[in-house]
Amino acid sequence: MTMTAHNILEKLESVLTPFEAAAYLPLIEKINRLKKEKNAVILVHNYQTPEIYHGIADFTGDSLGLSRQAANLDCERIVFCGVHFMAETAKLLNPSTKVLIPDLDAGCSLSESITVEDVRALKAEHPGVPVVCYVNTTAAIKAESDICCTSGNAARIVKSLGVDRVIFIPDEYLGKNVARETGVKAITHPGRCMVHEQFTVEDIKNYREEFPGIEVVAHPECSPAVVQAADYAGSTAGMVDHIARSGAHHIMLVTECSMSDNVRSLFPQKDFRVPCILCPHMKKITLEKVLKSLEEDVYEIVLPKETADKARLAVERMLALS
């Protein structure tokens, strides 16, 4: 077994059974060989399963981190292990590189909650009010927006506009959480993350009763009530930084279940309590589909030039402020 394979196995065994880890290894090695031959880079979102996250990633991270990586890559192909809007964002920022997503059906309840017509209607109703779109949107929605944001920089982006009102799309909860934090009124759209909307204040209360001193770390796509009941709310990268600084032994992670598994492997000394809710879209990506993606060059992200040019502006404005 090569040294790299040994390292991968060690990481996998920190979150999977030895049997599961060993079963994934041949496919992982095949993918890692092929990605070198094809001059491909594999970007992996934090919500991907451990065998993808620890086995084949060249870079891991949240939407903002991966967008930044995509912009700077010098390779022939990017294989994006995440959901469709993320692969589109990578294509926007690195238009000359072929961007592949292993399953075209890997969508997102947030990005699918809003149409171009919805955004145009909001703009017509609130003329002159800037449109801030969460990165969890299609390129067509970004093209209708003034600036993009992620959960990690949303408050900073909204404040930087120096206005008293913004149209914040499509995540109603994130919009309300940002409005509370910044004091800027957010005109929202009823989009929700189908994972984060399921967590309740009652869940947090129960964990606090069972594990006194537990630190509750939540994603800001959760409802404002859940965010207020948590000790910390932030992007996936922000959560990792916060846990690294925290002195608490018990941590409750109020976010997607695989993120919790992947974070757990970074802090083996801490005790994670996780109400496990999986994102069905993220889980559409599998090792078998990544292999097919590399072998057959599927499925390529193609964007109309006019849409891409406008959408890129919204993303680049965000990156300039981040």
Min separation Cβ 74 and ligand SF4, Å: 28
For ligand SF4, the closer CB: 25 or 141: 141
Query: Which of 218, 256, 257, 308 touches ligand SF4 by CB under 6 A?
Result: 256
At residue 257, what is the residue type? C
For ligand SF4, the closer CB: 47 or 299: 47
Taking alpha carbons only, the member of 28, 33, 39, 30 closest to residue 297 is 39
Dihedral pair phi/psi, residue 201, rounded to 5°: -60, -35
Min separation Cβ 235 and ligand SF4, Å: 11
Taking alpha carbons only, the member of 266, 286, 262 closest to residue 274 is 262
Query: Strands 59-61, 77-81: parallel, antiparallel or unpaired by DSSP?
Result: unpaired
CA distance 237 to 217: 12
Taking alpha carbons only, the member of 46, 97, 76, 103 closest to residue 259 is 46
User: If binding is defined by CB under 6 A, does position 195 make contact with ligand SF4?
Assistant: yes
**How many other CB atoms sit within 10 Å of the CB of residue 179?**
20
User: If binding is defined by CB under 6 A, does position 46 make contact with ligand SF4?
Assistant: no
Query: Strands 271-273, 59-61: parallel, antiparallel or unpaired by DSSP?
Result: unpaired
Instruction: Evaluate whether 77 touches 34 at the Cβ level (below 8 Å).
Output: no
Report the phi/psi class of residue 216: left, alpha or beta, with left for phi > 0 and alpha for psi in -120 to 50. Answer: beta
User: If binding is defined by CB under 6 A, does position 88 make contact with ligand SF4?
Assistant: no
Min separation Cβ 105 and ligand SF4, Å: 12
CA distance 191 to 113: 5
Which residues share a beta bridge with 44?
A: 60, 81
For ligand SF4, the closer CB: 55 or 170: 170
Report the phi/psi class of residue 297: left, alpha or beta, with left for phi > 0 and alpha for psi in -120 to 50. Answer: left
User: If binding is defined by CB under 6 A, does position 193 make contact with ligand SF4?
Assistant: yes
For ligand SF4, the closer CB: 47 or 53: 47
Residues 53-72 that bind ligand SF4 (CB under 6 A): none
Residues 260-319 that bind ligand SF4 (CB under 6 A): 279, 281-282
User: If binding is defined by CB under 6 A, does position 83 make contact with ligand SF4?
Assistant: yes
Q: With contacts defined by CB under 6 A, name the span among 16-24, 71-79, 87-95, 106-114 that binds ligand SF4.
A: 106-114
Q: With contacts defined by CB under 6 A, name the span among 107-115, 119-127, 147-155, 160-168 that binds ligand SF4.
A: 107-115
User: If binding is defined by CB under 6 A, does position 135 make contact with ligand SF4?
Assistant: no
User: If binding is defined by CB under 6 A, does position 136 make contact with ligand SF4?
Assistant: yes
- Helix axis angle for 84-93 and 63-71, nearest 10°, is 30
Min separation Cβ 234 and ligand SF4, Å: 15
Considering CB under 6 A, how many residues would be counted as binding ligand SF4? 14
For ligand SF4, the closer CB: 8 or 87: 87
User: If binding is defined by CB under 6 A, does position 189 make contact with ligand SF4?
Assistant: no
Element (H, E) at 242: helix 236-245
Query: Which of 109, 235, 258, 260 touches ligand SF4 by CB under 6 A?
Result: 109
For ligand SF4, the closer CB: 21 or 101: 101
User: If binding is defined by CB under 6 A, does position 194 make contact with ligand SF4?
Assistant: yes
> Interior CA angle at 36 toward 31 and 38, to 5°?
90
Interface with ligand SF4 (CB under 6 A): 47, 83, 108-110, 136, 193-195, 221, 256, 279, 281-282
